Structures are given as C-alpha cells and as structure tokens.
A = this chain, B = another copy of it.
Amino acid sequence: MSLSQLSEIYLPAIELKLQNVVSMAAGSDGLTDEMRYMLAYHMGWDDNHAGPSVHGKRIRPLLVLLVASATDGNWEIALPAAAAVELIHNFSLIHDDIQDSSPLRRGRVTVWKKWGVPQAINAGDALFTLAQEALLDLEEHVSAQTVLIASRRLQQTCLALTQGQYLDLSYEARGDLNLEAYWPMVGGKTAALLSACTELGAISAGASEHICDAYRRFGRDLGLAFQVLDDLLGIWGDAALTGKSTESDLVAGKKSLPVLYALEANGPFAERWSQGPISALEVAELADQLEDEGARAYSQARAAEFTESALSALAEAEPRGAAGLALTELADQLLARKT
C-alpha cells in the first residue's frame, strides 16, 4: 500500500479519535455544548466548512501512526499518541494566532477574532488538557510504565515549544540577531513536535530505546530540513517572488535563516534591513542581493544536510513494510518542494 492508500485508512481513524476525545470531555461534569463547539470549530468540524481544507493535513498524527506501523505492524495502539500530538499542535495554533494577532487561519476567522482573546486563551488551555488526557488512553494497549515514558516525552516537547515561542516573540523586538539565534528557535517551534511524533509512534509500538532514538532524530531533522526549506520558499518561492510579492517573508520582516545569515554577514542587505520595513517593490532586488551574499546557497546546504541526516536516521530505525516505505515517501513529499 502506498502513502495515499495508508492515509485513506489512517486519516478517518485519526479524525474519529480526535472527535471522541472532545466529545467524551462533554457531558454533565465536563464541557458544555457551547464550549465544545468552540473547540470543534477550531479543529475544523464546523458543519459548514468541515474537512482537510480547514483542519490541515494532519501530518503529525499521520507520522505517529506510520512509525507505529513501521515498527510493529499495529498502528491502532498509537491512536492516543496521534490524537495527543494533533491536539498539542492545535492548542499552540490557537495561542499563536492570539500572539501574532492573526485574524484568519485557512480562510476562516480565528478563535480569538470570533470569541475574543480571553475565551481563546481558555479554549487553547482546554485543548492542551485534552491532549494530556488523550495520551493516557495508551494504557489500553501498553504498560503503565510505557505510558509514563510517553507522557514525560510529551512534557519535554511542550516545554521546548514554549521555549521556542519565547524566543520567537522576543526576537521580534531585537535588532542584534545572528545565525546562532535561529536554531534554538526552530528547534522548539518546529522540530520538537515532529520529533515527538516519530518517537511517540515508536514508544507506543514498544520499540527498543535505540530504535526510539533513531526515530526521534528522524523527526527532528525532518522538521529542521522542512523549516529551512520553508524559509527558502518564503523568499525564493513562486508566490514570494513572481506571484504576490506581498507574501514574501521579506515584507513580513520574518527573521528566517537566509535573513539571519545576511545579518551576520553585515553587508548591504543587513544595512537595508536595519533601515526599516521592506516594501513589495523591493522584494525581487533584495532577494537577488541575499543570493549574492551567499544566503540562499548557505540555506540550501543546511536543508540538504538535515535531509540527509533525517533519511539516515530513518534507515537506522529500520522501518518495515508498507508503512516503512510510506515514511520515506512522506519525507520525500515534505522535502521535495520547489525552491
């Protein structure tokens, strides 16, 4: 079975599990219907606009299940972990949208914009709790010790997420950033949760410590490679350059890897950057300038390195069967975007 065939089996099971977690929390002692609706709306189960176009591709829980299946053959035991990582991802999105004042997410009004900041903070907190609760359901299939290992792993991940978010928020106000500032931030914001996905899949399936560690490194380096490629696309991708240049990360002022590389080099780009916001009209010229200063080549080299180490860690994990092949396919898809 290919990745798309496996996805056709896994994705409905993930959605059902997520909906069960939120529904089980409702009831006499739990969430009222109004509050449940707020969570369902964010998760993309709103009646009018349901489906992948509003709830995203569920890449993270898919990774959990693929790893569990590639380790042990039984993906269903890992469903609680799959639900947990997706709920953590969504809790962080609700809080991110408040922190960034984003009015829209996937074409729909964000939770804070619809219900106000106080209720949105609280809705995020509720999803955070539900993630914790979902993970405990692992107990149905694995030992209590293993559940505790998984829970500890989830807490480390959440702590890394908050640390990454702290750095991201504090960088907004700083002008003295350099390359060193980049890795701790994306390590927390992107790589931590992806490494938790792959490692929790392996832990759920009862893999050895060595295999769990190989999957952890696979997820982490996949996340880092993905983030660097995303940064490249944000400056040299079609949408950023030839489409709407207002979508360029340069206009958004994002401190992405190519930008931080150039700030450290302290050449003409750094000088222009220090003079204030970049307009859409300057985007093409400044992208060329960045490339001349070596920022594009440097970032491409980092992306290639992380891609290689991710795939080498995956090989070390000795993934089996159709899911094993599908993991490589998923990594290729994530990393093969045109830059």
Contacts of A148 in B (CB 8 A): 136, 139, 144, 147-148
Contacts of A155 in B (CB 8 A): 129-130, 132-133, 136
Given the known interface contacts A128-B128, A159-B25, A162-B129, the answer about A98 and B122 at a Cβ–Cβ threshold of 8 Å is: no
Tally of this chain's copies:
2
CB-based nearest B residue for A118: B99
| A166 contacts chain B at the CB level, 8 A cutoff | yes
A194 to chain B, nearest CB (A): 16
Q: Which residues of A contact B (CB under 8 A)?
A: 25, 29-32, 34-35, 38, 95, 98-100, 117-119, 121-126, 128-130, 132-133, 136, 139, 143-145, 147-148, 151-152, 154-156, 158-163, 165-167, 169-170, 184
Picked from B34, B98, B125, the residue with its CB within 8 Å of the CB of A162 is: B125
Cα distance, A133 to B31, chains bound together (Å): 24
Indicate if the CB atoms of B122 and A121 lie closer than 8 Å: no
Cα distance, A133 to B98, chains bound together (Å): 26
Cα distance, A132 to B152, chains bound together (Å): 8
Indicate if the CB atoms of B128 and A99 lie closer than 8 Å: no
Cα distance, A159 to B56, chains bound together (Å): 25
Picked from B126, B144, B159, the residue with its CB within 8 Å of the CB of A147 is: B144
Name the 9 nearest CB pairs between A and B, nearest first: A144-B144, A99-B118, A133-B155, A129-B158, A126-B162, A35-B166, A144-B145, A122-B165, A118-B169
CB-based nearest B residue for A192: B29
